[in-house]
Amino acid sequence: MKFTAEHEALRKTVRDFVEKEINPHCDEWEEAGEFPIHDIFKKLGNLGLLGIQKPEEYGGMGLDYSYNLVAAEELGTAHCGGVPLAIGVQTDMCTPAISRFGSDELKRTFLAPAIAGDMVGCIGVSEVAAGSDVAGMKTTAKQDGDDYVINGSKMWITNSPKADFICLLANTSDDKPHKNKSLIVVPMNTPGISFSPHLNKLGMRSSETAQIFFDDVRVPQRYRIGAEGTGFMMQMLQFQEERLWGAANVIKALEHCINKTIEYCRERKTFGQPLINNQVIHFRLAELQTEVEALRALTYQACELHIEGKDVTRLASMAKLKAGRLGREVTDSCLQYWGGNGYMWENPVSRAFRDVRLVSIGGGADEIMLGIICKMMGTLPGKQRD
């Protein structure tokens, strides 16, 4: 990956934004379980940071995915995972399908305001009984005149309590599970939508997460993205960007953990020696930094191929898997060297330990990534038939 002066300028813009607008407030927002999402998104929109890769016609910068990667990586310098997660949902999870397959009306009504920071979006795929098994979801959108009438619910939806629209995956026919789904953009102020109380999460505390209920929610059929029955395919494509974003976003967060731990271990003395002088510790931290560089190389490689228009399902799944696994390893090892201080709720490494845990679960759990990789390696057994 060859970064230009333009990449570096964008990197600096994102980093300055994180340092000025996010980091001074992280503790307060984590405690509150929310942050002023419309305010922050408007500021990001004013800087163009919500539409880096989106078409210029709708207010985006029209740049390639390498710029998105730089922004995702730099957002990892935030001192909490929740705010970057909320931003990633907007840029790489709920808008790629609208941008790629949506009608001009959808793009003008939802994409342009999302890029400008005037609307907050969310993505509704998971359900109480269908997270990993996306094909098994039950929410329906039935045709009625020119409308769809939506019934069902979506679980663990990030940004949903304050969102202006949801990019919703729903069953629009009784066809086979991979052919009966459509992505539909639903304004969140539509009658019939209600929410659970905020879900009480282990980490990502500053992001808001809730269950959404749809009770005879009526939207025009023209709010469907692309052709009916192609939603599963579009969502699988959208997942590639979500997974690349997730991997890129973790890199600097893990480096921050390692660097904070080095700082602490230089100061903290046991048996008359700084902790860092123990070979077991400085070797371990060197090993972890090496692994982070390997994750960076894998993520960059996947991004390069994605920019070339190649199918990156295999590499994006590997990057997401590695990010989840390594995230757990780095934060767990670092927390150990902080001893009792590491076990305290407010400790930066303890926060990262809780936040990063999501990476192995959300957007396709580690085992789902392994299943995809096996499928592409030709080692996944097919269903046995007599």
Ligand X SMILES: Cc1cc2nc3c(=O)[nH]c(=O)nc-3n(C[C@H](O)[C@H](O)[C@H](O)COP(=O)(O)OP(=O)(O)OC[C@H]3O[C@@H](n4cnc5c(N)ncnc54)[C@H](O)[C@@H]3O)c2cc1C
> Residue 79 or residue 320: which is nearer to ligand X going by CB?
320
Compute φ and ψ for 141, nearest 5 degrees.
-130, 105
- Long-range contacts: 311-316, Cβ < 8 Å, 24+? 312/240, 312/244, 313/236, 313/240, 313/372, 313/376, 314/372, 314/373, 314/376, 316/240, 316/243, 316/244, 316/247
Q: With H, G, I as helix, E, B as strand and everything else as coil, classify residue 148.
A: strand
- Binding part of the chain for ligand X, among 54-62, 151-159, 214-222, 244-252 by CB under 6 A, reads 151-159
Q: Tell me which of 120, 186, 204, 248 binds ligand X, using CB under 6 A.
A: 204
Q: Pick the catalytic residue from 242, 255, 267, 287.
A: 242
Smallest distance, ligand X to C-beta of residue 221, A:
22
> Residue 217 or residue 265: which is nearer to ligand X going by CB?
217
Question: Taking CB under 6 A as the rule, does residue 324 contact ligand X?
Answer: no
Smallest distance, ligand X to C-beta of residue 148, A:
19
Active site residue 304: no
> Do residues 213 and 155 touch, judged by C-beta distance below 8 A?
no
Separation between Cα atoms, residue 42 and residue 49, nearest integer Å = 10
Cβ atoms within 10 Å, residue 273: 10
> Do residues 29 and 83 touch, judged by C-beta distance below 8 A?
yes
> Residue 308 or residue 367: which is nearer to ligand X going by CB?
367
Question: Taking CB under 6 A as the rule, does residue 35 contact ligand X?
Answer: no
Question: Taking CB under 6 A as the rule, does residue 362 contact ligand X?
Answer: yes
- Nearest-CA neighbor of 121 among 166, 157, 87? 166
Separation between Cα atoms, residue 194 and residue 333, nearest integer Å = 41
Compute φ and ψ for 204, nearest 5 degrees.
50, 40
Question: Taking CB under 6 A as the rule, does residue 350 contact ligand X?
Answer: no
Task: Tell me which DSSP letter residue 127 carries.
Answer: B
Question: Taking CB under 6 A as the rule, does residue 205 contact ligand X?
Answer: no
Question: Taking CB under 6 A as the rule, does residue 201 contact ligand X?
Answer: yes
Residue with the shortest CB distance to ligand X: 131
> Residue 122 or residue 185: which is nearer to ligand X going by CB?
122
Cβ atoms within 10 Å, residue 104: 10
Q: Tell me which of 90, 139, 153, 158 binds ligand X, using CB under 6 A.
A: 158
Site string for ligand X, 54-93 (x = CB under 6 A): -----------------------------------x----
> Do residues 269 and 275 touch, judged by C-beta distance below 8 A?
yes
Q: Tell me which of 131, 152, 246, 327 binds ligand X, using CB under 6 A.
A: 131
Separation between Cα atoms, residue 333 and residue 353, nearest integer Å = 10
Smallest distance, ligand X to C-beta of residue 354, A:
11
Residues annotated as catalytic (active site), given as ranges: 242
Q: Interface with ligand X by CB under 6 A: which residues?
A: 89, 122-126, 131-132, 156-158, 201, 204, 209, 358, 361-365, 367, 371
